[in-house]
């Protein structure tokens, strides 16, 4: 990559410098663009075909435009073989040091005396000064014995291809299991929410039917008040013979006699009683359904990952 950058970028001017994203710098050249992405887990630099770039311009980008705008790239090299550090020198006397290593990846603009003029991200280090004005030094080399220096690695040197395939196959299987588990739990959750809404409506209907069953008592009161009901009256204050409290009875709008009012209240009572029985039966059904769905969701949450493997189709 460094050799290719040196071949294509040396002698080129960058006509436009923008931030293609929050963590990506884009240098637009005459016939090839140079992009550096500092996103965690995806830190890389690449050459791409020249195109019209649109992006933001931050403080560091403005600093780059000031010092390297219109200047030619005089060199592009790795200051230390084996490190993910790429340095671009410009005819204006400044140098851009791109550290493409892990979570501490950053870009530093240096003057001709290696003093730091600015950095893409605010940073600090316990091993070297990185503040503006400090003399820039390369980060310490990786400790011997790590994977980068031939030490322990997730992928053994022997049969590396098979080890890599096995690693990513296992990662794909784990991701598929996680998706299947999340989908199954989400489906049960939707069913539970639906059952809860239906159960809530049924309980509301049950309370309404319970209030309508008062029609029997009103019908009995109208029949009891029938012998003493004043002719032509639409309401009457009646004292029951069993010592119950005095009540004021009012004829419904569509009734002209207490007997007709009693018939209407008895009919409403019978209808409400039948409806209440049906509603109570449905409430019991949905309560059992809700308990079963919640138990199934709890069981899915406790299942081992292997349970969510996709079933293998029978070849026969």
**CATH number for 101:** 2.30.310.10
Which residue range forms the structural domain that includes residue 273?
Answer: 160-308
Q: What confidence score (pLDDT) does residue 314 get?
A: 46
Map 119-179 to HEC letters: ECCCCCCCCCCCCCCCECCCCCCCCCCCHHHCCCCCCCCCCHHHHHHHHHHHHHHHHHHHH
Among 6, 7, 48, which Cα is nearest to 28's? 48
Q: What confidence score (pLDDT) does residue 312 get?
A: 46
Q: What confidence score (pLDDT) does residue 156 get?
A: 54
Task: Give the C-alpha separation, 280 to 83, whole Å.
Answer: 74
Residue 316 included in any domain: no
Mark whether 102 and 19 lie in a shared domain. yes
**What is the percentage of the chain residues whose pLDDT exceeds 70?**
89
Q: What confidence score (pLDDT) does residue 288 get?
A: 93
Task: Give the C-alpha separation, 308 to 311, whole Å.
Answer: 9
Mark whether 170 and 53 lie in a shared domain. no
Residue ranges, the chain, pLDDT below 70: 50-54, 142-161, 242-243, 311-316
Residue 179 included in any domain: yes
Check: CB of residue 97 under 8 Å from CB of residue 83. no
Residue 31 included in any domain: yes
Residue 295 included in any domain: yes
Q: What confidence score (pLDDT) does residue 316 get?
A: 40
Residue 147 included in any domain: no
Work out how many domains the chain is built from and give that number.
Answer: 2
Q: What confidence score (pLDDT) does residue 313 get?
A: 43
Domain limit, last residue, from 139, 168, 198: 139
Mark whether 69 and 170 lie in a shared domain. no
Q: What confidence score (pLDDT) does residue 152 get?
A: 54
Q: What confidence score (pLDDT) does residue 311 get?
A: 64
Mark whether 134 and 166 lie in a shared domain. no
Q: What confidence score (pLDDT) does residue 140 get?
A: 84
Mark whether 135 and 164 lie in a shared domain. no
**What's the pLDDT tens digit per position in 254-286?**
788 888 888 888 888 888 888 888 888 899 999
Q: What confidence score (pLDDT) does residue 117 get?
A: 94
Mark whether 257 and 201 lie in a shared domain. yes
Residue 107 included in any domain: yes
Check: CB of residue 257 under 8 Å from CB of residue 227. no
Mark whether 167 and 286 lie in a shared domain. yes
Q: What confidence score (pLDDT) does residue 21 get?
A: 83
pTM > 0.75: no
Mark whether 84 and 134 lie in a shared domain. yes
Residue 150 included in any domain: no
Residue 245 included in any domain: yes
Mark whether 15 and 131 lie in a shared domain. yes
Mark whether 166 and 290 lie in a shared domain. yes
**What's the pLDDT tens digit per position in 205-220?**
888 877 777 777 788 8
Mark whether 177 and 223 lie in a shared domain. yes
Q: What confidence score (pLDDT) does residue 64 get?
A: 92
């Amino acid at each position: 990559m460094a050799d290719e950058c040196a071949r294509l970028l040396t002698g080129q001017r960058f006509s436009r410098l923008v931030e293609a994203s929050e963590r990506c710098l884009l240098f637009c050249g005459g016939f090839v663009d140079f992009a550096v992405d500092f996103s965690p887990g995806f830190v890389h630099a690449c050459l791409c075909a020249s195109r019209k770039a649109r992006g933001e311009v931050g403080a560091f980008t403005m600093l780059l435009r000031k010092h390297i705008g219109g200047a030619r790239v005089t060199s592009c090299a790795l200051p230390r073989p084996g490190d993910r550090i790429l340095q671009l020198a410009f005819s204006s006397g400044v140098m851009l040091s791109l550290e493409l290593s892990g979570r501490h990846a950053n870009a530093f603009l240096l003057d001709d005396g290696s003093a730091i003029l600015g950095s893409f991200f605010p940073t600090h280090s316990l091993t070297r000064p990185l503040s503006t004005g400090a003399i820039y030094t390369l980060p310490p080399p990786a400790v011997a014995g790590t994977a980068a220096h031939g030490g322990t690695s997730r992928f053994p040197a022997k049969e590396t291809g098979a080890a890599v395939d096995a690693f990513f196959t296992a990662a794909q299987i784990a991701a598929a299991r996680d998706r299947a588990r999340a989908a199954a739990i989400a489906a049960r959750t939707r069913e539970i929410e639906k059952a809860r809404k239906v159960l809530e409506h049924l309980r509301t209907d049950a309370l309404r039917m319970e209030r309508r069953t008062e029609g029997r008592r009103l019908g009995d009161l109208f029949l009891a008040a029938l012998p003493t009901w004043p002719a032509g009256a639409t309401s009457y204050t009646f004292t029951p013979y069993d010592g119950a409290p005095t009540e004021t009875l009012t004829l419904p709008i569509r009734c002209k006699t207490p007997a007709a009012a009693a018939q209407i209240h008895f009919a409403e009572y019978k209808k409400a009683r039948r409806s209440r029985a049906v509603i109570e039966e449905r409430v019991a059904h949905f309560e059992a359904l809700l308990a079963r769905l919640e138990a199934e969701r709890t069981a899915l949450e406790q299942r081992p990952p292997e349970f969510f493997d996709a079933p293998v189709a029978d070849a026969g």
